[in-house]
A and B are shown apart, each in its own frame.
Chain A
Amino acid sequence: SQQGEEDPQALSIQEGENATMNCSYKTSINNLQWYRQNSGRGLVHLILIRSNEREKHSGRLRVTLDTSKKSSSLLITASRAADTASYFCATVDYKLSFGAGTTVTVRA
């Protein structure tokens, strides 16, 4: 399966701290995407990184991709209570294959 698998499963941090989560996958990819899901709601696309890119930034988000290790990381800097959500990486083979996600809780 191409799906991404996130690590850790859960993360609890204080507001203002950084949150880092990792994703590993098994096969070659065209791109990898990160999504956020607030409890019981739809998925929101955060960032897409292509296989020929190593790092990408979007606001307080930084994503890295290491295709040799088949891994990606998502860093959220200066976290806020509103960042509390589940975060998923998804490998793309026209369809998205999601992992189980990392649940991030940001304490005020």
Chain B
Amino acid sequence: EPEVTQTPSHQVTQMGQEVILRCVPISNHLYFYWYRQILGQKVEFLVSFYNNEISEKSEIFDDQFSVERPDGSNFTLKIRSTKLEDSAMYFCASSGLADNEQFFGPGTRLTVL
């Protein structure tokens, strides 16, 4: 069964460093998403991406964040200058249609020291 994969599973970084979180969505999906979950809190929407551009983003997704689909398979989230409060699980998701079920990856745990 096809699945969304994410790498790395755990990333530790120093405050102020740039990180890139990688995702490989399900191959025939067209809609891609990033969510995050701070420990003990709700899963929060960050950004959605369709047709090679951002379709929606939340208040969290400020100019420190960017997304890219550099090739036909990868979907990346970049945080330019990490802050302590960026520590969270980051989940990538994809769906075939805009309003259909979303398939989530296993997440990347980002720890900012």
- Tell me which residues across on chain B come within 8 A of A95, comparing CB atoms: 33, 45, 48, 56, 58
Contact between B107 and A101, CB atoms less than 8 A apart: no
- B28 proximal to A (CB < 8 A): no
Residue of B nearest to A31 (CB): B99
The DSSP consensus for interface residues of chain A is strand
- A92 proximal to B (CB < 8 A): yes
CA distance A104 to B106 in the complex (A): 20
Residue of A nearest to B57 (CB): A95
Total CB contacts across the A-B interface at under 8 A: 54
Contact between B42 and A101, CB atoms less than 8 A apart: yes
CA distance A94 to B22 in the complex (A): 22
Contact between A45 and B102, CB atoms less than 8 A apart: yes
Contact between B107 and A42, CB atoms less than 8 A apart: yes
Q: How large is the interface on A (under 10, 10 to 19, 20 to 34, 35 or more residues)?
A: 20 to 34
Contact between B43 and A43, CB atoms less than 8 A apart: yes
Instruction: List 12 A-B residue pairs with CB atoms under 8 Å apart, sorted by A's residue number.
Output: A3-B42, A31-B99, A42-B91, A43-B43, A43-B91, A45-B104, A92-B99, A94-B99, A95-B48, A96-B35, A99-B42, A100-B41
Which B residues fall within an 8 A CB radius of A? Answer: 31, 33, 35, 41-45, 48, 55-56, 58, 89, 91, 93, 98-107, 109
Which A residues fall within an 8 A CB radius of B? Answer: 3, 30-31, 33, 35, 37, 40-45, 48, 88, 92, 94-101
